[in-house]
Amino acid sequence: MSSPSMPRRVALVSVHTSPLAQPGTGDAGGMNVYVWQTATRMAQRGIEVEIFTRATSSSDAPVVTAAPGITVRNVVAGPFEGLDKRDLPAQLCAFTAGVLRAEAMHKPGYYDLIHSHYWLSGQVGWLARDRWGVPLVHTAHTLAAVKNASLAKGDTAEPMLRVIGEQQVVDEADRMVVNTDTEATELVSMYNADPDRIDVVNPGADLDVYSPGSRELARAELGLRADETILTFVGRIQPLKAPDVLLAAAAPIIERARRSGRPVRVLIVGGPSGSGLDRPTALMDLAGELGIGAEVTFLPPQPSAQLAQIYRASDLVAVPSYSESFGLVAVEAQACGTPVVAADVGGLSVAVAHGRSGLLVDGHDVEDWTAAIEGLLVTPDRLAGMRLNARPHAEQFSWEQTADDLLASYSAAMHSFAARNPGSIGAASARRAARRLRRIRPKVHVSQ
């Protein structure tokens, strides 16, 4: 317990993707991991968590007890299948109605706080905040203005509808949670956010699941050769994540490896997503065009335990994204003792310790990426040093710390909301929380 005003019950809103979905394809990615991992840590601290997400199958039960203290409510809003994330703004009214009806079944004050994830959820949380009289904490995860400023070639810009919607949520949220200082700066400069209402809270990794292990055993389990150099990409296959940059950079390395007799393999782990759905075989086609089809292995999204084995089996993990608010893949790989080569964008400069646990590459020039990757492969002592440093660096980022810092942000939101709205349900919740924890001193601060 770490906050002087710990909520009893929190409503997490995640409209477009369920935390129960497998990350790595469609709209499921790092945000799924974030919502689920922070929810479980809060539940372990005795806080009830209810997650509102859109039902995407007729087989989805309306209410699922996902874990002790965690309830997932699958809200029917629009057709179950066939809706792209870009179509969801038209379903926000239906989704919000489902959220409000769930709360209406309880006495006023059932929820102490709302935490919305992504701008669509922020729109829902904004209305629920006004209806329920409790504070709204919002995490954007990605920002349209940031993505549009660094679009991949051939990618589609985020629409003005989203930019306006994000601005509305920024203006309305009681507090904003961001992943890094860089994201806080972007929020202030691009959306004129109030810096006094922004809390910097680093995401984490499950350090028990993602841990160092035997490379030989991992490769044997995965059916990979022991003598190959393995370069790995993990994530959704779309232009934003830039797996094509890794393939193009690896092609000359693979060609030289053929001549030297030291084989190199590229693993691509994930499924098509976003604009990548328009050409689902584009990456396979590119591997063929580059003449490296035989050296590229495509794997579908993997559960966390199997993903950890993939990280352990790899010599390097590449994160060449054009935009990342943090970069969970980078932290997970390093937690397994695997160095990372990443684009120097967004939160990756925090997730990767340049020169110690991996390398940051300025830009997406293929020759620069080839030089960075090959430069490590031909200096095994340097690469071995990065392996030793990778785990200690990743240990700075645990979900336990993330949850504690989130609760400190919740406390600040509850106190400020109660001060502005002394007669509200939120004010009563804050007073109840303070009475419950009168003897408990806060031990955790919000990361700065």
Q: How would you classify the pairing of strands 113-117 and 136-139?
A: parallel
420 is in an annotated binding site: no
Q: What are the start-end ranges of the E strands in 143-259? A: 175-178, 198-200, 229-234
Distance of CA 297 to the CA centre of its chain: 25
423 annotated to a ligand binding site:
no
User: 435 a known binding residue?
Assistant: no
443 appears as a binding residue in the annotation: no
3 state SS of 299 = strand
Q: Binding site annotation covers 118? A: yes
32 is in an annotated binding site: yes
Contact 111, 8 (CB under 8 A): no
- 107 labeled binding residue: no
User: Rounded to an integer, what distance in angstroms lies between the CA atom of residue 403 and that of residue 38?
Assistant: 5
314 is in an annotated binding site: yes
142 annotated as belonging to a binding site for a ligand: yes
334 is in an annotated binding site: no
| 293 has binding-site annotation | no
Q: Is 236 annotated as a binding residue?
A: yes
Q: Is 311 annotated as a binding residue?
A: yes
- Annotated binding residue 96: no
> Using an 8 Å Cβ cutoff, are 229 and 377 in contact?
yes
* 367 is an annotated ligand-binding site residue: no
Token couple for 251:
């092609």
**Residue 27 to residue 235: CA distance in whole angstroms:** 11
Q: Which two tokens stand for residue 107?
A: 């006495």
52 within 8 A of 99, measured Cβ to Cβ: yes
393 marked as part of a ligand binding site: no
User: Is 85 marked within a binding site?
Assistant: yes
Is 27 annotated among the ligand-binding residues?
yes
Q: What's phi and psi for 326, nearest 5 deg?
A: -145, -70
Is residue 30 annotated as involved in ligand binding? Answer: yes
- Is 338 annotated to bind a ligand? Reply is yes
Consult the annotation and say whether 221 binds a ligand.
no
In 3D, which of 317, 326, 318 has the Cα closest to residue 346? 326
Binding-site residue ranges for UDP-N-acetyl-alpha-D-glucosamine: 22-23, 30, 236, 241, 302, 324, 332
> Which parts are annotated binding residues for Mg(2+)?
311-312, 314, 338
Annotated binding site for 1D-myo-inositol 3-phosphate: 16, 27-32, 85, 118, 142, 162
Residue stretches of the annotated binding site: 16, 22-23, 27-32, 85, 118, 142, 162, 236, 241, 302, 311-312, 314, 324, 332, 338
